[in-house]
Structure 1
Amino acid sequence: MKCPVCNHENGNAHYCERCGTDLTQSPSFSNAPRDHESAAAVESEYTRWSSTQAAPSSSVPSRTPSAPTPHDHTYDNSGPNGHSSAGDTNQWNNVMQNEKVQQAKEVSKQYISYFLSVLARPYQTMKTVGDQHALNGLITMALIAILSSTYFLLTFSRLDMGGLFVAGFIRPLLFTAIILIVAVVLIYAVLKIEKITFRPKTLVAQYGTLLVPSVAALVLANLFIFISYPIAIFLLVVSYVIVFAGMNAVLFQHPLNRTKSAIDSMYTVLIANVVLLYILYRLLAGSILGILGMMLSPFGRL
């Protein structure tokens, strides 16, 4: 039987399966509602029920509109240019930093093995190095400058001197770097005067190889500041003597005086040593002698 209210086909049921209308009293739509108000109430109830049932299905397309809302549009635009882009940039920077850290670790491992092998036989190793060892030579020179400045910083801190960072670290760092640069330039100049063919990177690698014992002496000097200061300052002097010896060893392992030059090779090497000694005296000897004076003084002995 068809419901006269909602037109739902109910078969032989006494009540409508959809709206609950009594079908036994209303066989047709014209005879169904004797009271107009009751029929209206039933119809309104059906309308409320049907709207509540249709709400979930009608809300589904509303969540997926064909065009993005202004809020969604703003969020999408912030992806490539806003926080999402900044997050990608930070992630890339972190990756690059990690790669640099890994490269630094590799260089450190290679230098440690290089350092230990050179320390046993520096002169023999110097004859076999090439351009690929130039970085190790530069690292050795940088370590000499840093360890020298650390030595003076620790010494001045024990003496309670003013201007600790500038006088005890920055100035020795710069002065030692200047001395090493001058030593390399002097080797380069002497070989040029002697008209000897060489590669600058190989020259840096050779000189840096011979300076490895100087690094070891400076490490011990920094340690002996807290144990025995006379031994510490002796090791400091030894480290700078190695700077002189290394320059001469690099020069004399080349075939000097092959040409008929106006000046003998002995004098060119002597001039180079005098220049380096003068620069060392002007830059660091004053500080070293001052420390020695305070150490030997009865009032400033450490």
Structure 2
Amino acid sequence: MKCPVCNHENGDAQYCERCGSNLKGTHASAEPAESVTHTGPPDASSEYTRWSSTQEPASHRTASRSSSISPMPSPAHDLDDASDNAAQDRSAHSSSSNQWSNLVQNEKVQQAKEGSKQYLSYFISVLARPYQTMKTVGEQHALYGWVTMALFAILTSTYFLITFGRLGADGLFIGGFLRPLLFAAIILISATALIYGVLKLERITFRPKIMMAQFGALLAPAVVTLLLANLMIVISYSFAISLLVLSYIIVFVAMNTVLFHHPLNRIPAALDSMYSVLIANAVLFYVTYRLLYAVIAGLFGPLFSPYGRL
């Protein structure tokens, strides 16, 4: 037997001949240790226990580290917050702009209401005393003169529109509304141009805005006459036509009243004031006749032509 201490070969002796070691006890204890160490495979449970013992602390450390460290905000989250803030800013800006636009609209509506009330009171005062009011108007009333002229043109066009609509004429909107509106405006502009030309020919110093205010003030009775003509179409055509003619006679009267309100013939001229005023009336009459005849012929021509209606 070989001594495990000094490697001396002793045979079957119980003790080593060289070092005196107990060979039986060493052999008995060495064999099981060697068998345990080298003969069988490692226990799976012990291997799992060692692996789990080595892995669990690492995972525990990772979990504790992740719990101790606060999460960092992601870029996508930042973009969402920025888009939300931008949307809130846009909504606030749009709401403020809507409030501002509503405020501006309300102010415009209030201004329109105040202007309409002022014009209505002015129109009533002019209608009660046209000539007296004409002598006291100023440049600030020039806008009222333009409004009165616009009302005269609109009521003329509505008169023809209603009349020819009841007769069943063709091309009602263009021939019955737009053309009379345009022609009535041309007649009024021609009247103001003739007033301006005669006053310039007479070498009279005047202000064009005051002249417009005077002429517009004298057209207030013509506007009321046209309004009555529009209402009387349903009752009587003949009476409505008489009112229409009377309204255009008032236009001639208004033009002559403005002309004679100024001191004519102060300076000797080549043409007497009587003839200059007469020429102005003749020109206005010719323009009125041609335009009204064009409106009436344009609407009634197809009715009386042999191929107008079958």
TM > 0.5: yes
Code of the residue aligned with 2:131 in structure 1: it is Y
Code of the residue aligned with 2:288 in structure 1: it is L
Match of 1:136 among 138, 144, 148: 144
Distance between the aligned counterparts of 2:170 and 2:298, measured in 1?
15
Residue number in structure 2 paired with 1:278: 286
Q: Does 1:76 align with 2:107?
A: no
Residue number in structure 1 paired with 2:22: none
Q: How does 1:30-69 map to 2 (within 5 A)?
A: 69=78
Q: Give identity over the alignment, percent.
A: 62
Distance between the aligned counterparts of 1:275 and 1:92, measured in 2?
52
Describe the superposition over 1:14-62 as per-residue Cα deviations: whole angstroms up to 9, x where unpaired.
xxxxxxxxxxxxxxxxxxxxxxxxxxxxxxxxxxxxxx9x9xxx89x98
Residue number in structure 1 paired with 2:130: 122
Residue number in structure 2 paired with 1:195: 203
Describe the superposition over 1:108-139 as per-residue Cα deviations: whole angstroms up to 9, x where unpaired.
11111111111111011100111111111111
Code of the residue aligned with 2:144 in structure 1: it is N
Distance between the aligned counterparts of 1:145 and 1:193, measured in 2?
28
Match of 1:186 among 194, 197, 218: 194
Distance between the aligned counterparts of 1:127 and 1:153, measured in 2?
36
Q: Does 1:167 align with 2:175?
A: yes
Match of 2:277 among 248, 269, 280: 269
Distance between the aligned counterparts of 1:138 and 1:274, measured in 2?
24
Distance between the aligned counterparts of 1:238 and 1:130, measured in 2?
28
Q: In the TM superposition, what is the alpha-carbon distance from 1:88 to its structure 2 partner?
A: 3.5
Residue number in structure 2 paired with 1:102: 110
Match of 1:241 among 228, 234, 249: 249
Distance between the aligned counterparts of 1:291 and 1:244, measured in 2?
26
Match of 2:159 among 151, 168, 172: 151
Code of the residue aligned with 2:221 in structure 1: it is P
Contact 2:130 2:217 in 1 (8 A): yes
Q: How many residues align?
A: 251
State the structure with more CA Rg. Answer: 2
Q: Does 1:255 align with 2:263?
A: yes
Distance between the aligned counterparts of 2:296 and 2:251, measured in 1?
16
Q: Does 1:217 align with 2:199?
A: no
Q: In the TM superposition, what is the alpha-carbon distance from 1:92 to its structure 2 partner?
A: 2.5
Q: In the TM superposition, what is the alpha-carbon distance from 1:78 to its structure 2 partner?
A: 4.4
Code of the residue aligned with 1:274 in structure 2: it is A
Q: In the TM superposition, what is the alpha-carbon distance from 1:69 to its structure 2 partner?
A: 1.6
Where in structure 1 are there 5+ consecutive unaligned residues? 1-51, 295-302
Q: In the TM superposition, what is the alpha-carbon distance from 1:172 to its structure 2 partner?
A: 0.4
Q: Does 1:207 align with 2:197?
A: no
CA distance 1:79–1:280, shift in 2 (3 Å): farther
Q: In the TM superposition, what is the alpha-carbon distance from 1:258 to its structure 2 partner?
A: 0.5
Code of the residue aligned with 2:122 in structure 1: it is Y
Q: In the TM superposition, what is the alpha-carbon distance from 1:291 to its structure 2 partner?
A: 8.5
TM-score (norm 2): 0.70
